[in-house]
């Protein structure tokens, strides 16, 4: 699953979604933190304002009796100051004296800093009774007709406030998560809809490569219309260049064959050293001409729905077995009925005909041909075809040289030495691969990798 996600995020769709979702998460996170901070500041401001009003009320009803004792001229209106541990508290302290406290504090006492004077209103959070956290508003006051300094404090329990902030944050996170989900779904739909023409363009190119279409057709968005037109123009130009090149190669080869045949006929009966050299070089020239004529005929394109190869292999085996009838070679074929080649029949016959023919020439008793579909390439499906014989084999240091044009390890075996060079050219034209290695049968194994549907 991780591998699939990693592959998805490397696609254009995945990259667009990833960047858009990352920016959305960042924007919502910043917005959520800002809203949470603003709400907390608003709630604390409201708490501080109420504490300030209560402290002003305390100062307003405070007086010093004739006996010099601080007292209230009338009780405070909030009855919670009378209920023990109710969450609303007040205390008036004087240095060296017992503090004057609300009944709600019961046996708990606030600990103000009496070593310095605080004549401006200050807010703080301190520990309260029963494990409560208190928000405290405090300041020093000098009452009229007195030079004594009293430290006034009024406090409220922050549990309710913190619960309100936590509830707001939970609702905020839930709302932002819902918004993120909605935005993500919208982005998925938007990116999917926006990239649909590109996917359609990719399918059109695949149809052209498969031989089902010749041009990109359809009504394209204005942004992609020039691209579609340029691709069509490029394919048309490429077809013209290929046709022109094939024509020129064919014309040149045929033009050279006539004077070359005359030269060969002139020196055919001569046996002096000079004539032998001319015959040898003439043969090399003809081999080069044949090689490039075959290369010019390579189609290298798709074959529509695909070429089922089992029937083609059976026909090739039947044709090759005629030439090796006197050796009684046994040809074994193992190929699924559904195995197909994404290419032209002529190219397939050229490749496998050469390989099976070579295997039949060198085999002692048996040739094995097998085919299977490869599933380890996610970009394009391939088939693997193995042609093995039980012949003498080839030394490891000479295997790679067999692909050289005109290379033959044994001149007693008929042939031109062009077969494997042509095989390699055709396979590479299709984006495939061909290699030779020692066969478990004792001879040589040719392993082909060709595109399939």
Task: Give the pLDDT score at 407.
Answer: 47
Gap between the Cα atoms of 207 and 204, Å rounded:
5
Look-up: residue for tokens 């390439």? 377
116 — phi, psi (to 5°)?
A: -140, 150
Whether the pLDDT of residue 295 is over 70: the answer is no
Pairing mode, if any, of strands 330-334 and 366-374? parallel
Give the model confidence (pLDDT) of 194-246 as tens digits. Answer: 888 888 888 888 777 666 677 888 788 887 888 888 888 888 888 788 777 77
Quick one: which of 64, 74, 136, 77 has its CA closest to 105?
136
Give the model confidence (pLDDT) of 27-68 as tens digits. Answer: 999 999 999 999 999 999 999 899 989 888 888 888 887 777
The model's pTM is 0.53
Give residue 168's pLDDT band: very low, low, confident or very high (50, 70, 90): very high
Quick one: which of 127, 121, 117 has its CA closest to 139?
121
**Extents of the domains making up the chain:** 1-209, 225-297, 307-451
Cβ neighbors of 351 (< 8 A, separation 6 or more) are 422, 423, 426, 427, 448, 450
Pairing mode, if any, of strands 444-451 and 382-389? antiparallel
Give residue 291's pLDDT band: very low, low, confident or very high (50, 70, 90): low
Contact call for residues 394 and 402 (beta carbons, < 8 A)? yes
Give residue 400's pLDDT band: very low, low, confident or very high (50, 70, 90): low
Give the model confidence (pLDDT) of 317-343 as tens digits. Answer: 888 888 777 788 889 999 988 888 887
Please give the C-alpha separations between residue 371 and each of 313, 394, 445, 446, in angstroms, as whole numbers.
10, 23, 13, 12
Give the model confidence (pLDDT) of 251-283 as tens digits. Answer: 777 777 777 777 777 777 666 777 777 777 777
Task: Give the pLDDT score at 406.
Answer: 47
Give residue 416's pLDDT band: very low, low, confident or very high (50, 70, 90): very low
Task: Give the pLDDT score at 211.
Answer: 62
Torsion of CA 393, 397, 402, 404, to 10 degrees: -170
Q: What is the CATH number assigned to the segment(s) 307-451? A: 3.30.565.10
Cβ neighbors of 311 (< 8 A, separation 6 or more) are none
């Amino acid at each position: 699953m991780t591998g699939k996600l990693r592959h998805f995020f490397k696609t254009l769709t995945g990259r667009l979604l990833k960047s858009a979702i990352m920016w959305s998460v960042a924007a919502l996170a910043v917005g959520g933190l800002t809203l949470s901070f603003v709400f907390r500041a608003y709630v604390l401001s409201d708490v501080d304002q109420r504490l300030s009003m209560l402290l002003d009320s305390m100062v307003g009803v405070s007086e010093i009796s004739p006996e010099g004792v601080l007292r209230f001229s009338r009780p405070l209106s909030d009855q919670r100051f009378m209920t023990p541990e109710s969450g609303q508290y007040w205390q008036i302290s004087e240095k060296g004296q017992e503090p004057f406290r609300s009944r709600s504090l019961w046996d708990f006492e606030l600990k103000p800093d009496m070593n310095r004077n605080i004549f401006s209103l200050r807010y703080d959070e301190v520990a309260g009774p029963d494990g409560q956290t208190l928000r405290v508003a405090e300041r020093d006051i000098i009452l009229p007709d007195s030079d004594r300094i009293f430290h006034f404090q009024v406090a409220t329990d922050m549990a309710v406030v913190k619960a309100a902030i936590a509830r707001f944050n939970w609702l905020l996170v839930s709302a932002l998560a819902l918004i993120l989900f909605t935005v993500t779904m919208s982005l998925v739909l938007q990116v999917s809809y926006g990239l649909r023409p590109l996917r359609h363009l990719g399918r059109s190119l695949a149809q052209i490569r498969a031989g089902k279409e010749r041009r990109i057709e359809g009504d394209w968005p204005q942004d992609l219309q020039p691209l579609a037109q340029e691709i069509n123009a490029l394919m048309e130009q490429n077809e013209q260049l290929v046709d022109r090149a094939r024509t020129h190669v064919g014309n040149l080869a045929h033009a050279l064959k006539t004077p070359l045949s005359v030269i060969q006929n002139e020196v055919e009966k001569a046996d002096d050293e000079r004539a032998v050299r001319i015959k040898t070089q003439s043969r090399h020239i003809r081999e080069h001409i044949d090689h490039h004529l075959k290369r010019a005929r390579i189609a290298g394109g798709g074959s529509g729905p695909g070429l089922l190869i089992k029937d083609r292999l059976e026909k090739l085996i039947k044709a090759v077995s005629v030439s090796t009838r006197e050796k009684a070679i046994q040809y074994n074929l193992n190929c699924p009925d559904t195995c197909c080649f994404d290419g032209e029949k002529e190219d397939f016959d050229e490749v496998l005909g050469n390989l099976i023919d070579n295997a039949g020439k060198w085999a002692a008793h048996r040739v094995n041909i097998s085919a299977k579909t490869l599933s380890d390439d996610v970009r394009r499906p391939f088939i693997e075809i193995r042609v093995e014989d039980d012949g003498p084999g080839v030394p490891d240091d000479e295997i790679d040289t067999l692909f050289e044009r005109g290379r033959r390890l044994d001149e007693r075996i008929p042939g031109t030495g062009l077969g494997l060079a042509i095989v390699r050219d055709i396979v590479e034209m299709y984006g495939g691969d061909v290699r030779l290695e020692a066969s478990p049968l004792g001879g040589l194994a040719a392993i082909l990798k060709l595109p399939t549907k």
